[in-house]
Structure 1
């Protein structure tokens, strides 16, 4: 499970920002899961976090930073060989000094054996400036790797725990991560760090890669192990769908799907796929990846969850990860959204606890600040959706009612007078 993520100097994230799935001290949460650690202790960890904020406040950049960390881990040894430096680093663009400063990433996570790890690195334009790996098998920190490109001897392995360390240090390029290099040889100790990134931080944007995800969900309908759950999620979305027909024809790259809609007659009516609404197709395309994440216990990233889904569908996605009966493998969801309705249930209760709600705002210099709603300390009976929309917590546009219309009218009036 992912515990915390820290980053700095990525797009609008200028100073170090932290996102945490760990339940804040003193907060009671029915949604939290107890995560057993290898030292015998346990942590209360959220299965879901939502990042809310105004347009262009940096919500998507939080997910982008996580994606970029994963991309660096998976790609630095192989695909980056054709580059002389670090490709597509994207430091903060509104401060000229930022380009000369390194980009920082760090993740805390727990593997299946209960051992907590901290892995991080800093990237400059030309090289990996630093890289570190810490383990906590008995609760106390063990430093496995300490890399600093500014030292004469860049690599240190305190405790000499890492096998084959001399060869790894000698054969890791300046613009590659040592963990990536180790995984290329199936290193017996470090490959599990690489594998965690490969199996987690999957990114979904509902409006993109629609056909690929539709095809994947169709494959799930052909699989006896998942067919019933896919059909149940289609029916539960209240789209009038009673089932689905899936046919794989020889030579086709993907199965052909027809959803069965209830009509006035006794028999359901099969619609051609092209006649389905975009909302229905978006929900169908999301089901396959959702089930894959829930079945494997992965960390799923969904940018703009409400962009192409009805609020009811978006709330259903959150519910699937929150409910222990549907999320037995402790999968996690991080999503961004504008939709304040996701902050409460249809009956007026809270769908997310304050520690699960994160807000983004930009300061006067255009840099994003990320903070949890628990820092604002809302009242126990406060309607979080109403207070959020009223601007009590920040994270909403600083635009008064009618302001945009008045400005447009002023411009039009001025143009008319000039003509």
Structure 2
């Protein structure tokens, strides 16, 4: 590990060890471990052809790690996507999340073709390699507007590929054909009878609690997308509500975690607590009226998840210049403080149980040191003993630099840009010739890797130089 990584992670690692000793941290054996190895999607929104990401080290030349090695030893903990606005960065991240949601929710739409007319008649294809408890699986599917044309799952327990199932359907009115492999044990025939053209067989098997397929589906769902952290205000509020729920359900553990996150980020916050208030009767009546207008029925009770955002809020304890303490509400905190807690709390949750965290625009409202700290949390093996993974997009080119030393390796970076026809492309940094010690930040900003916005201010000259045109 590089010296700067040890330095950045030292405070957080120390707190995590203290949590373990005090019983605040989770016992790691409670969950099975899943990892995303490779993800490829094609004919998906702005991507006309294949776009793929990989966490696998180029040094792995076989289907499985060698003797004495684990998947954590031959995979990266992070994958970063850089590029200009509207280049497709968010699209590739959302595709990963979409597959995870489709496994959790049968019937989720998976056909999102490229804008060209001909693309609507071809499938959106997904190709995923992942692991569950050190066993490698390969999952493929082709989605049409009418449903799933093809779906297959293979395992590779000891380097030998085995078919678990292949599901095919030639058209919306054609029968669904499922061919199960000899190694697949469980009620596959019963699951087949429940599958409709729009369902993934793997998703239905998970709902049916298929002996062999449910654990694999759960692993793919976790490995494909444990938590997608978006950048919108609504998404941020959802994550803060999630955090407050954790703090209420398990205050001993989560209050300590949130306090540590505040201290690590040097936010000037001594502690954070959840305040629950009685919702005024007038507000309840208005909420009941809105719900009644939407459903046509007057609800006897307002759902708890509708009341929580109104009744709960975070309260922050600060220290004054003379050492006195005072409290301020969430609305009085900086955007950076809120953004840090909203992003770092889901990161801690993924670090606790393994899986993948997907973050769109990691650097939104965050100081570069905090963006770096989030990445370091995943790369530090003491903080991340379960091999959790982070997939993120960013405009923070400092993450590519060498100061004080390099944080992202050449196999952990991808560049996203659009070609002359307007289709997005995803290119790994490893596709370019690089040398040890190269400053990739400088090379990127000088256009060596493309994926930069083409800024042209000439069109503004006439507008700003014409005083008669001003209102």
- When normalised by structure 2's length, the TM-score is 0.78
Deviations 1:121-158 (A, max 9, x none): 11001121100000001111001112221287722223
Deviations 1:87-123 (A, max 9, x none): 4732111x211011100012111112x1100112110
- Which of 195, 203, 209 is residue 186 of structure 1 equivalent to? 209
Q: 2 CA distance for matches of 1:109 and 1:52?
A: 24
Structure 1 residue aligned with 2:255? 227
Residue 373 in 1 paired to residue 429 in 2?
A: yes
Deviations 1:214-253 (A, max 9, x none): 2333344452123323212101212212222434456773
The alpha-carbon deviation at position 181 of structure 1 amounts to: 1.7
Structure 1 residue aligned with 2:119? 98
Residue 276 in 1 paired to residue 333 in 2?
A: yes
Structure 2 residue aligned with 1:30? none
Structure 2 residue aligned with 1:204? 229
The alpha-carbon deviation at position 316 of structure 1 amounts to: 1.4
Residue 408 in 1 paired to residue 434 in 2?
A: no
Q: 2 CA distance for matches of 1:155 and 1:272?
A: 56
Residue pair 1:39, 1:138 contacting (<8 A) in 2 also: no
Residue 350 in 1 paired to residue 406 in 2?
A: yes
Q: 1 CA distance for matches of 2:158 and 2:64?
A: 12
Deviations 1:255-293 (A, max 9, x none): 442212232112232212221122211112223211111
Q: 2 CA distance for matches of 1:62 and 1:70?
A: 13
Structure 1 residue aligned with 2:271? 243
User: Counterpart of 1:305 in 2: which secondary structure?
Assistant: coil
User: Counterpart of 1:364 in 2: which secondary structure?
Assistant: coil
Residue pair 2:191, 2:204 contacting (<8 A) in 1 also: yes
How has the CA–CA distance of structure 1 residues 409 and 153 changed in structure 2, closer, same or farther, with 3 Å as cutoff? closer
Residue pair 2:271, 2:317 contacting (<8 A) in 1 also: yes
- Which of 368, 375, 381 is residue 324 of structure 1 equivalent to? 381
Q: 1 CA distance for matches of 2:445 and 2:86?
A: 17
Q: 2 CA distance for matches of 1:153 and 1:284?
A: 46
Q: 1 CA distance for matches of 2:425 and 2:189?
A: 41
Q: Which ranges in structure 1 are unaligned for 5 or more consecutive residues?
A: 28-34, 81-85
Residue 60 in 1 paired to residue 90 in 2?
A: yes
User: Counterpart of 1:318 in 2: which secondary structure?
Assistant: helix
Q: 2 CA distance for matches of 1:55 and 1:336?
A: 11
User: Counterpart of 2:96 in 1: which secondary structure?
Assistant: helix
Structure 2 residue aligned with 1:339? 396
Q: Which ranges in structure 2 are unaligned for 5 or more consecutive residues?
A: 1-34, 280-306
Structure 2 residue aligned with 1:108? 129
- The structure that is helix-richer by fraction is 2
Residue 213 in 1 paired to residue 239 in 2?
A: yes
Q: 1 CA distance for matches of 2:388 and 2:54?
A: 15
Aligned ranges 1:74-89 → 2 under 5 Å: 74-76=104-106, 80=107, 87=109, 89=111
Residue pair 1:206, 1:308 contacting (<8 A) in 2 also: no
Alpha carbon RMSD of aligned pairs, Å? 2.7
How has the CA–CA distance of structure 1 residues 209 and 394 changed in structure 2, closer, same or farther, with 3 Å as cutoff? same
Residue pair 1:144, 1:162 contacting (<8 A) in 2 also: no
Deviating more after overlay: 18-27 vs 130-139? 18-27
- When normalised by structure 1's length, the TM-score is 0.87
The alpha-carbon deviation at position 26 of structure 1 amounts to: 8.9
Residue 389 in 1 paired to residue 434 in 2?
A: no
User: Counterpart of 2:182 in 1: which secondary structure?
Assistant: helix
Structure 2 residue aligned with 1:175? 198
User: Counterpart of 1:246 in 2: which secondary structure?
Assistant: strand
Residue pair 1:301, 1:335 contacting (<8 A) in 2 also: yes
User: Counterpart of 2:427 in 1: which secondary structure?
Assistant: strand
Structure 2 residue aligned with 1:45? 75
